[in-house]
Amino acid sequence: MSEGRLVVITGAARGLGRAIAQRFAEDRLVLGDVRAEQLEETAEALRATGTRVHSAPLDVADRSSVSSFARVVEELGGADVLVNNAAKADGVGGDSFWELDEERFEELVQINVAGTWMMSKHLVGPMLERGSGAIVNIASDAAFYGSPRLVHYVGSKGAVLAMTRTMARDAGPHGVRVNAVAPGLTRVEATEGVPADRYALYRDNRALAHDPEPSDVADVVHFIASEAAGYMTGQALVVDGGFVMPT
């Protein structure tokens, strides 16, 4: 039996990350998250269904943690697919940009922007050598909409979208594709603190009536990493039921 692809998913302990891991269950998985206990629970649940899973602690904002995690992936043969899902969102609907604390801004940019870049930098090598591979960066539809009172998160996810385009141009001549998926507001553990009025905004203004599920995002991530999307790179697919419709 073929070993199959090695798919690396960051921020995989819960929420969207866990749903994405479940969608890639036919592949070999390497899961990383800063929440070690929840990460192992997710890994064990997947192993119970027959999925081949390695898990390792990972803080994408810490250089040494990223390096250690990358060595684990390298020992397993190198990633065929990297899903940069690890991120932080806080203060949704809170401070206007002139009220936001500098440290909060810097912390979130370090995780969401630098973390995405560092993971890609450390794991892309084997893809370049093989002449194939896919990186999927998880952005947010907030970067298209310009969600108010959320400048640190919106700015970081806008940077992820911009980096995706440059990464695609850098890696494209080597046969490696880089795309982004931009989910809308989805009820998961990471969004428990989002105010009710923000959920209402999405509910009242999206084209599709039903509430989103994490699996809706996971399905698109799985597609964009597949050979069915083999001629797609540098793109961003919005998965929010038609709340924003970028041109």
Q: Kindly list the distances between the CA atom of residue 138 and the CA atoms of 74, 97, 123, 197, in Å, as whole numbers in the listed order.
A: 23, 23, 16, 24
Q: What's at 213, amino acid-wise?
A: E
Q: Could you say which of 145, 153, 199, 231 is catalytic?
A: 153
Active site residue 199: no
- Report which of 118, 99, 122 is spatially closest to residue 109, judged by C-alpha positions: 118
Give exposure, 171-197, as e/b (b: 16+ Cβ within 10 Å).
Answer: beeeebbbbbbbbbbbebebeeebeee
- Report which of 50, 60, 67, 48 is spatially closest to residue 9, judged by C-alpha positions: 60
- Among all residues, which ones are annotated catalytic? 153
